[in-house]
């Protein structure tokens, strides 16, 4: 069978929109997944669509057969001995309501009769990437301009053999289908709407903002059930039923969560929180398509600094949370942690280090991964001898023609070599607000970065270090096997006393000006619960490890013995590869130990590092000399420190 069984997953997503009268309406979007079962597909999948009201799959064989497969394993042969020009991996087949076959191939559309003979062959002004019937029975083509990345709709007149005027659409279109109130139903990045070809009018039925549904995951065809329910034939032979459920007026207190982007896994948990919590209801506000991320984050920072803004933010909501913490506009969370009776030993240390300042806690981590490096084992033995000083000493003595890291130029190396230090190895004094980049150490860093940075025209006998990103159990199993099998060692990123492993974590915080701080904390506390942590850990799409220790071990032990590793190639030998056959109990303990000592790299130095990156790029491309570069960095960083101190 092409799919083994049918299954259903149902969850509710709450979204808000402005209705025509301007009133803010809230409704739930129920999402139901239903897998389809087809006979085995032999060679080509030619198309997926609703035909005669049912889900079908058109498949082809190398022998020239075209098969029509129905959900439930029923099938029939539509045609035999079709030419390869119409039957290959680039062609898309589609049947109209009368059973007439159409074939889309690059910029050409073919109309066949039911015996497979070509009746029409018409070329379009662009790639033909979709087809449907309109509400009035016309054949509509979706045409793509691949240079401008836009889509348009045009009528294919099968009597005249011509393609009419292209009606270009503003947004990327994923799927078209027979219209309901107008000509054509369209799924795009914003939602589902009816489109009128004559006047370009739109009538939205559903919008995706703030929901877990992502049309990029696949949309082949649409079945309109009612104003409140649609079914989408998704890629991968699955249908998605979206049902809009209107809510009655709620007495719950609304909490706003504003950020650039929220994963679908967290959105599902927000839905669960909204359903289970008797007092609070979270509304998501994500960055609109019309606004760039930097401006969106800047606006949130201005709102919060002015005593307004959302109740909940995360690490993607603002440019630099540290500046907001210094202004006192991010809530300190230790009182909430203590009042809730949270045992901090039940969690890995990084949970309470997000946005942390000393012993104070300003952010809560809900899932984490590790970013680290592995290095040539003939040069470094462990993370203990991978301090910045010892690493620079090795690089100075090394005579081999090697590049430090694949794809990382000299500017990137300067950033990496400095980013673990709170004071940039003594070059910044936060207490006095002074800086000094004139010392020998900074000269040394620039010279070695220039020597070992990757760039055009540089040949290499190999790479000294490689990036390692361990986002879940399978990543660790694979990297662990690959590192040991290739003679490398896990060193971390150079720090003052040895290599350091960086935490990458989803961190949530509370606006100190929020009138509903207790409600915001209830949501953060909800995400820390062992059950929720285990649920996130089991979701391979979330790509984060549980930060609750018991959940970490519960999910890790479930993984032990499973073949979860991914085949990894050795970094310096493309012919050599290793497959982590299973995740072991020893690896679970090793990962736990690594997780326990992973740390956040400093936030407060990031603006200074950005200045250094900008100026050193001009030095490395030959625009400035080293002394001039250092002088400009000195002046710019000092100006930044003066501004921070209000001088």
> End of a domain among 225, 246, 267?
246
What mean pLDDT do residues 443-466 have?
84
- The C-alpha atoms of residue 416 and residue 313 are separated, in whole angstroms, by 27
Tokens of 71: 């959900």
CATH of the domain at 348: 3.40.190.10
Q: In 539-571, which ranges are continuous DSSP H helix?
A: 549-559
**What's the confidence (pLDDT) of residue 517?**
97
Query: Which domain, by its residues, includes 410?
Result: 369-502+601-645
The pLDDT of residue 373 is above 90: yes
Please name which of 215, 170, 213 lies closest in space to residue 189, comparing C-alpha atoms: 215
Q: Is 579 within a domain?
A: no
Residues 419 and 513 in one domain: no
Please name which of 199, 177, 180 lies closest in space to residue 188, comparing C-alpha atoms: 177
Please name which of 58, 25, 22, 21 lies closest in space to residue 39, comparing C-alpha atoms: 58
What does the pLDDT look like over 59-117, one tens digit per residue?
999 899 999 998 877 889 999 999 999 998 899 999 999 999 999 999 999 999 989 99
Residues 59 and 144 in one domain: yes
Q: Which of 4-8, 78-82, 368-372, 572-576 has the lowest mean pLDDT?
A: 4-8
Q: Residues of 224-236 as b/e, b for ≥16 C-beta within 10 angstroms?
A: beeeebbbbbbee
The pLDDT of residue 4 is above 90: no
Residue 241 to residues 9, 73, 218, 229, 304, Cα–Cα distance (Å): 10, 21, 13, 7, 38
What mean pLDDT do residues 432-453 have?
95
Q: Is 581 within a domain?
A: no
Residues 494 and 530 in one domain: no
**What's the confidence (pLDDT) of residue 8?**
35
Q: Is 259 within a domain?
A: yes
The pLDDT of residue 284 is above 90: no
626 vs 294, higher pLDDT: 626
- The C-alpha atoms of residue 88 and residue 60 are separated, in whole angstroms, by 8
Residues 328 and 395 in one domain: no
Q: Is 458 within a domain?
A: yes
How many domains, in total, are found in the chain? Answer: 3
Residues 388 and 362 in one domain: no
- The C-alpha atoms of residue 532 and residue 514 are separated, in whole angstroms, by 25
pLDDT band at 574 (very low <50, low <70, confident <90, very high): very low
Residue 226 to residues 132, 173, 181, 222, 641, Cα–Cα distance (Å): 19, 21, 11, 12, 60
What does the pLDDT look like over 161-216, one tens digit per residue?
999 999 999 888 999 999 999 999 999 988 999 999 999 999 999 988 767 677 87
- pLDDT above 90 as % of the chain: 57
Give the dihedral of Cα atoms 21, 22, 27, 33; nearest 10 deg: 90
Non-local (6+) Cβ contacts of 577 within 8 A are 567, 568, 569, 570
CATH of the domain at 186: 2.120.10.80
Strand pairing category for 253-259 and 280-286 = parallel
- What average pLDDT does the chain have? 86
Q: What is the number of alpha carbons within 13 Å of residue 410 lying toward its C-beta?
A: 21
Residues 199 and 285 in one domain: no
Within the chain, what is the greatest distance between any pair of CA atoms?
Answer: 85
Residues 188 and 213 in one domain: yes
Residues 414 and 440 in one domain: yes
What does the pLDDT look like over 481-534, one tens digit per residue?
888 878 899 999 999 999 999 998 889 999 999 999 999 999 999 999 999 999
Are residues 521 and 553 in contact, defined by beta-carbon separation less than 8 angstroms?
no
Residues 123 and 191 in one domain: yes
Residues 223 and 87 in one domain: yes
The pLDDT of residue 144 is above 70: yes
Q: Is 482 within a domain?
A: yes
pTM score over 0.75: no
Residues 28 and 122 in one domain: yes
- The C-alpha atoms of residue 379 and residue 475 are separated, in whole angstroms, by 25
E strand segments, 270-429: 280-286, 312-314, 364-376, 428-429
Q: Is 584 within a domain?
A: no
Please name which of 293, 304, 369, 318 lies closest in space to residue 603, comparing C-alpha atoms: 318
> End of a domain among 211, 246, 281?
246
521 vs 244, higher pLDDT: 521
- Main-chain dihedrals φ then ψ at residue 241, nearest 5 degrees: -100, 125
CATH of the domain at 446: 3.40.190
Tokens of 452: 């070992």
Non-local (6+) Cβ contacts of 84 within 8 A are 64
What does the pLDDT look like over 291-318, one tens digit per residue?
788 888 988 888 898 888 899 999 899 9
Are residues 12 and 28 in contact, defined by beta-carbon separation less than 8 angstroms?
yes
Q: Is 585 within a domain?
A: no
CA 115 to chain centre: 46
- In this structure, how many other beta carbons lie within 10 angstroms of the beta carbon of residue 598? 24
pLDDT band at 2 (very low <50, low <70, confident <90, very high): very low
Are residues 28 and 10 in contact, defined by beta-carbon separation less than 8 angstroms?
no
529 vs 22, higher pLDDT: 529
The pLDDT of residue 6 is above 80: no
Q: Is 532 within a domain?
A: yes
Non-local (6+) Cβ contacts of 276 within 8 A are none
> End of a domain among 212, 246, 280?
246
Residues 356 and 379 in one domain: no
CA 326 to chain centre: 30
């Amino acid at each position: 069978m092409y799919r083994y069984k049918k299954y259903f997953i149902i969850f509710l997503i709450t979204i808000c929109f402005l209705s025509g009268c301007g009133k803010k309406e809230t409704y739930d979007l129920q999402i139901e997944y239903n897998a389809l079962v087809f006979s085995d597909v032999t060679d080509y999948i030619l198309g997926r669509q609703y035909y005669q009201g049912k889900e079908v799959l058109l498949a082809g064989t190398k022998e020239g057969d075209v098969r029509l497969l129905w959900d439930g394993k029923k099938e029939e042969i539509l045609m035999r001995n079709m030419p390869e020009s119409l039957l290959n991996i680039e062609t898309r087949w589609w049947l109209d309501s009368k059973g007439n076959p159409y074939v889309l191939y690059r910029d050409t559309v073919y109309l066949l009769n039911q015996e497979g003979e070509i009746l029409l062959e018409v070329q379009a002004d662009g790639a033909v990437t979709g087809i449907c019937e309109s509400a009035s029975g016309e054949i509509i083509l979706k045409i793509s301009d691949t240079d401008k990345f836009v889509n348009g709709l045009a009528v294919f007149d099968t009597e005249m053999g011509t393609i009419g005027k292209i009606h270009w659409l503003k947004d990327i279109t994923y799927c078209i289908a027979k219209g309901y109130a107008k000509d054509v139903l369209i799924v795009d990045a914003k939602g589902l709407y009816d489109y009128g070809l004559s006047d370009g009018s739109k009538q939205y039925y559903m919008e995706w903002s703030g929901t877990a549904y992502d049309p990029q995951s696949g949309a082949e065809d649409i079945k309109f059930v009612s104003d409140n329910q649609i079914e989408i034939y998704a890629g991968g032979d699955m249908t998605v039923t979206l049902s809009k459920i209107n809510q009655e007026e709620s007495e719950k207190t609304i909490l706003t969560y504003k950020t650039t982007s929220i994963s679908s896994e967290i959105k599902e948990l927000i839905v669960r929180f909204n359903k289970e919590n008797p007092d609070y209801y979270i509304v998501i506000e994500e960055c609109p398509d019309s606004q760039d991320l930097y401006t969106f984050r800047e606006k949130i920072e201005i709102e919060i600094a002015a005593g307004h803004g959302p109740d909940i933010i995360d690490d993607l909501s603002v440019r630099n949370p540290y500046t907001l913490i210094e202004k006192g506009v991010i809530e300190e969370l230790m009182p909430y942690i203590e009042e809730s009776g949270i045992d901090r030993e039940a969690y890995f240390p990084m949970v309470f280090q997000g946005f942390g300042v000393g012993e104070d806690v300003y952010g809560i981590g809900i899932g984490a991964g590790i970013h680290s490096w592995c290095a040539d084992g003939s040069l470094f033995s462990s993370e203990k001898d991978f301090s910045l000083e010892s690493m620079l000493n090795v690089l100075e003595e090394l005579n081999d023609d090697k590049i430090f890291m694949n794809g990382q130029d000299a500017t990137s190396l300067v950033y990496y070599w400095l980013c673990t230090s709170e004071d940039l190895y003594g070059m910044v004094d936060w207490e006095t607000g002074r800086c000094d980049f004139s010392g020998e150490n900074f000269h040394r860093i620039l010279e070695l970065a220039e020597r070992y940075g990757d760039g055009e025209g540089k040949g290499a006998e190999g790479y000294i270090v490689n990036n390692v990103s361990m986002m879940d159990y399978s990543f660790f199993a694979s990297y662990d096997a690959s590192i040991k099998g290739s003679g490398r060692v896990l060193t971390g990123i150079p720090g003052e006393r040895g290599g350091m492993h960086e935490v990458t974590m989803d961190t949530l915080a509370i606006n100190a000006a929020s009138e509903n701080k207790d409600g915001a904390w209830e949501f953060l506390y909800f995400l820390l619960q062992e059950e929720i942590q285990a649920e996130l850990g089991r979701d391979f799409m979330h790509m984060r490890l549980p930060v609750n220790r018991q959940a970490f071990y519960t999910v890790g032990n479930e993984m032990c013995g499973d073949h979860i590793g991914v085949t990894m190639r050795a970094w310096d030998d493309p012919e050599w590869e290793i497959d982590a056959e299973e995740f072991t109990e020893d690896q679970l303990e090793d990962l736990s130990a690594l997780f326990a000592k992973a740390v956040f790299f400093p936030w407060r130095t990031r603006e200074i590092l950005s200045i250094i990156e900008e100026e050193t790029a001009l030095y490395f491309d030959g625009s400035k000399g080293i002394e001039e570069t250092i002088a400009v960095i000195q002046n710019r960083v000092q100006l930044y420190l003066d501004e921070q101190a209000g001088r």
